Structure 1
Amino acid sequence: MSRLNVTETFHQITFPGHLHTQDSLRYAMDFQFQDTDTLIVTYPKSGTTWMQQVLTLLFSRGDPTLSHSIPNWARAPWLEQYYCPDVLKASLGPRIITTHLPYSLLAPALQGSKAKVIYVARNPKDVAVSYYHFHKMANFLPQAGCFGEFLDKFLDGTLHYGSWFDHVKGWTSQGRDKLNFFYITYEEMWQDMRGSIERISTFMQCPLLAEELNNVQRHCSFSCMKENAMVNYTQIPDEIMDHSKGSFMRKGKIGDWKTIFTEEQNCMFDQVFEAEMQSSKLNFIWEPPKDHGPVKSLKSPMAMEKPILTAA
């Protein structure tokens, strides 16, 4: 299945036809979750691959065999992509499932479920930059154009997978109160990987020994994942993902948006962010500290006092 130039529109959101069909999207909406399932939820380029790796290593208690022998999309398939049913039929044990779908589409399927839901968010300026670079190498996504044009589409919510604002608000303002839900940010994982793994293992009710924790931390580091062919997407043919135009595992940093945003674009972004997120309690970290010490949380323009952590 190639369909590289096909766009599927589903509930007024566009999706790349290379991976999605009307049938696969309806399958996701009607999916029967098991109470033992773990669902990773992200907007694209927000730490999806990272969390897939963490959970794989957590379930294997730090043994890297699976994470170095099975591609991440086979270990933790995307629910809305066409191949997911076949992967899940062949899976053994507790299932890890991934999705980029908004809460509004998956809420009916998750209603009453005890499945664990892990939502990973990332500051949207870095998301926009990472997504822009991904568009430049992914031949199944529309051409990125210049960054200014791309940023306008990001802020308008007209890119594939819809609005970042609707996505993060939907899951964190509605899903967290109704689901077995855990919220963590890309930036938290970046600044304290070990502490983040410990929090995730507690939520998953999967305590680790010190040696196991060390192994999980080692094999889900950015440098390790960048060299892992089961994670870095180098197995994908160039006709689908042109590796000459960039690397899937690009930088993995906080604050990369500052290398491309103009002052005018930054001001425009902040205005839209303030308007869209005025009722949100979320905090975001926009850049690392200059002294390379512990990262301090910089409140989003209209954030409330306390960030959401977990709601089980």
Structure 2
Amino acid sequence: MASVSRPQLFDFNGVSMINCFTDNWENVQNFQARPDDILLATYPKAGTTWVSYILDLLYFGQTAPDRQTSIPIYERVPFLEISISNPEDGFRFVGEELVKKLDTSPRLIKTHFPVQFVPKSFWEQNCRIVYVARNAKDNMVSYYHFNRMNAVQPAAGEWSDFFEGFLDGKMVFGSWYDHVNGWWQKKKTFPNLHYMFFEDLAEDTHGEINKLCSFLGLSVNPEIKQHITGQVQFDNMKKNDMANYSTLKEIMDFKTSPFMRKGKVGDWKNHFTVAQNEKFDEDYKQKMKDPTLQFRTLI
């Protein structure tokens, strides 16, 4: 692993951020989307890689099967706003540059931006946007383990401190509440936005792939859809070196925690104390005011 000192959060236009997601801000904001670009937006650790892989298989699984075995998912579906460069060891990882190098049509692009940070060309070009949301309890647990093993992120610290930080929105990319709500409100005015839930995907992967195809205007034969459903099961992806981020050892410490850990709904029960759960539920009631946006913490 590269020797990276853990970054500190700072307030960036009202959202907690770190340098590697703001350093390339101007280039990212001026990014020119194309009408056929597909943007995958999520709060971190909400099923991003899962849906990236589904999208890649839907579009290119048949026409370019070599992609699946030779190109890591983070190059097939680049992370638009990330910008890491370490001149000492020559490591460079700039998402906006990777997007521009894509020779696919459509280009599949991922972002963790809250809705107000998305480059305006995506709206102007009326791009199709897929948003994936995960219940806050499981999202928090997954984010905690991610911060433990990812040198680009702030140090996770103790679980009890992380829990409080999450409630306060002191996370990279800001408050979970603001993120999921902001995108939910956008869906009401921007029809080209498909809002998915991690829990639905876990419960009925095949059904959610059908809905995704319908939104994207893709006609994929049932056998291929069934095959994709099998390929994207968590255990299969966890073993897949082109999907599990194991090729990005410069910044991730797999001895501490795998990038793909459990992929389960309800793992929060193994982390939350009774008191934390009560505090969380009370806080949730205060912050989640829109009755049309409903999450499941168990399935």
Give the TM-score normalised by the residue count of structure 2. Answer: 0.89
Provide runs of 4+ in structure 1 moved above 6 Å.
none
Give the TM-score normalised by the residue count of structure 1. Answer: 0.86
The reply to whether residue 223 of structure 1 matches residue 235 of structure 2 is: yes
195, 218, 223: which one aligns with 1:183: 195
Unaligned stretches of 5+ residues in structure 1: 289-312
Asked if the contact 2:78/2:110 (under 8 Å) is kept, the reply is: yes
Unaligned stretches of 5+ residues in structure 2: 84-93
Q: CA deviation at 1:7?
A: 4.3
Name the CA distance, whole Å, in 2 between partners of 1:146 and 1:206.
45
Name the CA distance, whole Å, in 2 between partners of 1:123 and 1:265.
16
Q: Deviations over 1:205-254 (max 9, x none)?
A: 111112211221121111110011111111122x5211111111111110
6, 11, 24: which one aligns with 2:13: 11
Query: What is the letter of the counterpart of residue 280 of structure 2?
Result: F
CA change 1:20–1:4 in 2 (3 A) is farther
Aligned partner of 1:89 in structure 2 is 100
Aligned partner of 2:129 in structure 1 is 117
Q: CA deviation at 1:4?
A: 4.1
Aligned partner of 2:81 in structure 1 is 80
Pick 1 or 2: higher relative contact order, CA cutoff 8 A, min separation 6: 2
The reply to whether residue 253 of structure 1 matches residue 272 of structure 2 is: no
Give SS of 1:98's match. strand
Asked if the contact 1:37/1:96 (under 8 Å) is kept, the reply is: yes
CA change 1:211–1:58 in 2 (3 A) is same
Q: CA deviation at 1:29?
A: 2.3
Q: Deviations over 1:11-35 (max 9, x none)?
A: 2434343x4342x223222222211
Name the CA distance, whole Å, in 2 between partners of 1:211 and 1:276.
43
Name the CA distance, whole Å, in 1 between partners of 2:251 and 2:172.
16
Percent same amino acid among aligned pairs?
35
Asked if the contact 1:41/1:100 (under 8 Å) is kept, the reply is: yes
For 1:283-298, what aligned pairs fall within 5 Å after superposition?
283-288=294-299
Choose 112-121 or 55-64, whichever is displaced more. Answer: 55-64
Give SS of 1:194's match. helix
Asked if the contact 2:6/2:155 (under 8 Å) is kept, the reply is: no
Name the CA distance, whole Å, in 1 between partners of 2:69 and 2:275.
44
Name the CA distance, whole Å, in 2 between partners of 1:269 and 1:8.
23
Asked if the contact 2:165/2:171 (under 8 Å) is kept, the reply is: yes
Asked if the contact 1:107/1:175 (under 8 Å) is kept, the reply is: no
Q: Deviations over 1:53-100 (max 9, x none)?
A: 000000024565322221111111111112123222221221001000
Q: CA deviation at 1:139?
A: 1.8
In the alignment of these two chains, the number of paired residues is 285
Give SS of 1:243's match. coil
Name the CA distance, whole Å, in 2 between partners of 1:8 and 1:261.
24
Query: What is the letter of the counterpart of residue 232 of structure 2?
Result: C
Asked if the contact 1:41/1:117 (under 8 Å) is kept, the reply is: yes
Aligned partner of 2:40 in structure 1 is 40
CA change 1:2–1:182 in 2 (3 A) is farther
Superposition RMSD on alpha carbons, in Å?
A: 1.9
The reply to whether residue 144 of structure 1 matches residue 145 of structure 2 is: no
The reply to whether residue 130 of structure 1 matches residue 130 of structure 2 is: no
Asked if the contact 2:187/2:193 (under 8 Å) is kept, the reply is: yes
